[in-house]
Amino acid sequence: MKFLSCLLLFVIATITIGKSTHTYAESAHTEISERTFCVWDPVGSGGPIVSMVKGLIPKSLNWGVKLNIEAYTDEKVAANDFKGEACDAVLLTDVSIRDFNRFTSTYNAVGAIPGEKELKTLLSTLSSPKAAKLMKQDQYEIAGIFPIGSVFIFVRDKAIDNVEHFHGQKMAVLNGDPVAANMVRRVGGSVVPSSLANFAGMFNNGSVDIVFAPAVAFNTMELYKGLEPSGGILEYPLLQTSLQLVIHHKKFPQGYGQKLRSYSLSKLDNMLEVVHTAESEIPEKYWINIAENDKNQYTDYMRTARISLRDEGFYESKALKLMRKVRCKHTPAHGECASKIE
């Protein structure tokens, strides 16, 4: 759970940086409504995440809303309470967002956002007022997307360095994620159910051969223990992952979600700096260089997987089309830019 706390802590820290010192004075001229913001903190109400989220209260007051923080130690319970309207806003992982916005839940599609330049373009686009309608699905609205880095493939044996070698390997799948389970089966791997509380231990003691995690997990979850003596990390990002803030938009003032999305975007560089630091802290000896031919194989495989998962209803087609346009903006000569199959 230390890993989760670290991720949430850095995200909330970045969105509370630079709050206005005039917030309360400005809000005095605005009618204030009170809303419940459910915060997932593994430690509970006294945890570091709840403490940091409270820093958003003055900023929100400036927009006419007093946020009352409720702490949850179980993400599923927080999501269910949000559905039942016991919460007016909630912070969840993108895996848990599928019930609230299929478009933004596709953010973590495999291979869809290959690098930082594509990520910045995508988030700038989604934070624009022109994209506001995409942020709403029924009564829900995504009021912020907070990237927490590329997900890499950690292997206990460096010989497992391409798709063919994944066959028969035991792979940890967090929280029964159907997309991850689908992907593991596609490469002939064996699905091993796990959770944030135990997946690192399973990797470190050899119960699983492969885990998928962002760089920040290397130190916080001590994954380096599972990499010894002959393991490594494939130097090829599998997907991007994020935390997303969801609100019942009818319970908030007009434009509240847009204000929070714009403010969150202004903190993007702060968030990415934390990601850069985590990646730089991984010793060079652990990175497994991927041959150019293998990179092309990964790219083709992941594109095929995205299309199949789209057809099976896991990914939203409009989101995949947007991300293809973003990729082609930066690499227009790539073959997919002509085929337009996504």
- Mean pLDDT of the 207-224 span: 92
**What's the confidence (pLDDT) of residue 57?**
83
Over 60: is that where the pLDDT of 160 sits? Answer: yes
**What's the confidence (pLDDT) of residue 159?**
94
Residue ranges of the chain assigned to CATH 3.40.190.10: 2-148+241-280, 151-238+284-339
pLDDT in tens, 132-152: 999 999 999 999 998 888 999
138 in Cβ contact with 103 (< 8 Å): no
DSSP one-letter string for 237-292: --EEEEEEEEEEGGGS-TTHHHHHHHHHHTTHHHHHHHHHHHHHTS-GGGEEPPPH
What is the distance between the terminal CA atoms of the chain, rounded to a whole angstrom? 37
Share of the chain above pLDDT 90, in %: 61
Contacts 24+ apart (CB under 8 A), 177-181: 177/95, 178/314, 179/95, 179/108, 179/309, 179/314, 180/212
**What's the confidence (pLDDT) of residue 195?**
86
Instruction: Tell me the fold of 151-238+284-339.
Output: D-Maltodextrin-Binding Protein; domain 2 (3.40.190)
**What's the confidence (pLDDT) of residue 7?**
53
Instruction: Tell me the fold of 2-148+241-280.
Output: D-Maltodextrin-Binding Protein; domain 2 (3.40.190)
- Confidence at 230, pLDDT banded by 50, 70, 90: very high
**What's the confidence (pLDDT) of residue 117?**
96
pLDDT in tens, 64-95: 999 999 998 888 899 999 999 999 999 888 88
Distance of alpha carbon 213 from alpha carbon 174, whole angstroms: 10
DSSP-derived 3-state class of residue 38: strand
Dihedral Cα 23, 25, 30, 36, nearest 10 deg: 40
Over 90: is that where the pLDDT of 191 sits? Answer: yes
pTM of the model: 0.86
- Mean pLDDT of the 161-182 span: 89
- Higher pLDDT pick, 338 / 119: 119
Over 70: is that where the pLDDT of 9 sits? Answer: no
210 in Cβ contact with 169 (< 8 Å): yes
